[in-house]
Amino acid sequence: MFHVKILCACQYLTFLVSSHSDANLVELGNETIKEDDRAILLEGGLTKSASAKFHSSSIKANLIRFITMDDSFLLENRVTLRAMSEFGAILVYFYICDRTDFFSESTKKYNRDLFLFLYILLIIVSAMTSIKKHHDKSAFSAKSLLYLNRHQTEEWRGWMQVLFLMYHYFAAKEIYNAIRVFIAAYVWMTGFGNFSYYYIRKDFSLARFTQMMWRLNFFVAFCCIVLNNDYMLYYICPMHTLFTLMVYGALGIFNKYNEVGSVMAVKIITCFLVVILIWEIPGVFDIFWSPLTFLLGYGDPDQSKANFPRLHEWHFRSGLDRYIWIIGMIYAYYHPNVEKWMEKLEESETKRRLSIKTSIVASSLVVSCIILWLGKITLETYISQFHIWLRSSVPNGQPKWLLCLIPDFPLLNFTLTTFIYLLISYRLFELTNSLKMVFVPTKDDRRLLYNFIAGAAISLCLYCISLILLQISQTLVRRLTFTASRIVFV
């Protein structure tokens, strides 16, 4: 629990260096809400004067006001303080579920009949909801018909996430190959979505980049701190971070020439060459990544894998999907042409249009809209499953057991734990974006730099304090153990 105390202190202190903004993964077109408007909404309608006061205040002044528990300061920033407190409480719940014996655990059991029944039931319910929604003509618009728009990609991610979670919960090893394809699809969308955003919006600002890194790593960073896990346990996060960086670098360098076809061809070829150099030429991978072993290394508690190098997991995971993000970039580059073809198809004669559409539908899986929202929170559901849906009990351990809140009633337990898990995952998504508005300002790079420096300094101080306290506690435990052993001996 010591880690949790340090975490809470860190959250409250780091808050004192803050400001506003927003970002999510890419959508095509102009579907996003203005970031300033979103900031006002997430701040819960705070008055402009209160917001202006906070922006004009220095870090030192905010720190003094916080330490003295100034009433006006607490009222002005109550929404942010409440969000941080809620986030900390959720992490405490993670710790209780996965690192204590407060709740019991149960063994995973796979039953193909039950697995297929639950998934088909989900499809039926979602289809019914989708059909009902589509009767409302207002649900249709020109934006909703765009090919691979945001709603479609989120729905795609959502369905994959459902199978991914069921695979883990029921230990459905027979669908492992499908899961591998799903993970590749996630990485494909990293290339597709980020390329689309940077190519269309041309926003290579430091604020936008920082917001993306916040979205990918804020939650997982605190999970690593509180639960003493390696970053690589949540391998999706470093993979998305890496390939997002590579897309950003590819389009950000000489970005004024991105409209030139030959320049874009050189950039894409260069991406292939970089991947070939690092992953295909023996020895280069270890040389290139060894300085980051402290971050990307993984110590598997499974004794059968104890002799593996610490970078083995990173080599394996990143190597499986090392090219697919580039394919996503290529697809995004030609996406406008495909969209134009779709528009021409809509303008063609009815018979031809229906025949082409029928052939496309016949070769595709028709899905519905019940879990569009799940596609938005795949990062949170991916991380949370390890601790409040499943259970590992030890640092860096794979989740081999199920969290058991209702012993001896597996289906009721599945229902309850799943409800809590999805509710918390969605709330974490909202909290991450709310806190991002505070700590990662959109149009103030100077304040962003101050926030980063102050946050790093506070984190370093808290780490040193926790290290000293930990050494003191260990020394006391050793002395007490030694004293007790002498008393028993006497």
Average pLDDT of the chain is 76
Same-domain check for residues 385 and 303:
yes
Contacts of 77 (CB under 8 A, 6+ apart): 15, 54
What pLDDT sits at residue 279? 92
- In this structure, is residue 449 part of a structural domain? no
State the Cα–Cα distance between residues 310 and 297, nearest whole angstrom. 5
Q: What is the dihedral of CA 401, 402, 407, 408, to 10 degrees?
A: -80
pLDDT of 423 above 50: yes
Q: Is 399 found in the same domain as 460? A: no
pLDDT for residue 308 is more than 90: no
* pLDDT tens-place string over residues 25-82: 334 344 433 444 443 333 333 334 444 444 556 777 877 887 888 888 888 888 888 8
Shared-domain flag, residues 371 and 481: no
Domain enclosing residue 46, as ranges: 2-443
Residue 113 has pLDDT above 80, yes or no: yes
The reported pLDDT for the residue numbered 40 is: 36
Residue 376 and residue 385: Cα distance in Å, rounded?
A: 16
Tell me the Ramachandran region of residue 334: left when phi exceeds 0, alpha when psi lies from -120 to 50, beta otherwise. alpha
**Are the CB atoms for 387 and 417 separated by under 8 Å?**
no
pLDDT per residue as tens digits for the range 264-278: 999 999 999 999 999
Is residue 434 domain-shared with residue 486, that is, in the same domain?
Answer: no
Residues 481, 342 within the same domain: no
Say yes or no: 153 and 267 in one domain.
yes
Indicate the burial class of 379 (C-beta count within 10 angstroms; 0-12, 13-18, 19 or more).
Answer: buried
DSSP string, 390-425: EE--STT----EEEESSTT-HHHHHHHHHHHHHHHH
Q: Which residue type sits at 190? A: T
Q: Is residue 448 part of a domain?
A: no
Look at residue 107 and tell me if it is in a domain: yes
Closest CA to 374 of 165, 159, 149: 159
> Residues 64, 159: one domain?
yes
**Does the global pTM surpass 0.85?**
no
Domain shared by 81 and 178, yes or no: yes
pLDDT attached to residue 147: 63
pLDDT at position 130, please?
A: 59
What confidence score (pLDDT) does residue 372 get? 76
Please report whether residue 18 resides in a domain: yes
Look up residue 148 and give its DSSP letter: T
Note whether 299 and 310 are within 8 A (CB).
yes
Mark whether 241 and 387 lie in a shared domain.
yes
The reply to whether 376 falls in a domain is yes
Which pLDDT does position 361 carry in this prediction? 65
173 within domain boundaries: yes
241-255, 281-295, 428-442 — which is least confidently predicted? 428-442
Q: Could you tell me if 280 and 325 lie in one domain?
A: yes
pLDDT band at 337 (very low <50, low <70, confident <90, very high): confident
**pLDDT score for 375:** 55
Do both 487 and 407 map to the same domain? no
Q: Which DSSP symbol is given to 34? A: P
- The number of domains in the chain is 2
What does the pLDDT average to over 477-483? 76
Instruction: Tell me the pLDDT tens digit for each residue of 356-411.
Output: 667 766 666 454 444 475 555 667 777 787 777 777 776 777 777 788 888 877 77
Residue 428's pLDDT is 85
In a domain, residue 451? The reply is: no
Domain boundary among 443, 464, 481: 443
Of the two residues 291 and 105, the one the predictor is more confident about is 291
Whether 450 maps to a domain, the answer reads no
Q: What is the largest CA-CA distance in the chain?
A: 99
Whether the pLDDT of residue 478 is over 50: the answer is: yes
Tell me the mean pLDDT in the region 241-252: 92
**More confident position, 302 or 292:** 292
> Do both 388 and 480 map to the same domain?
no
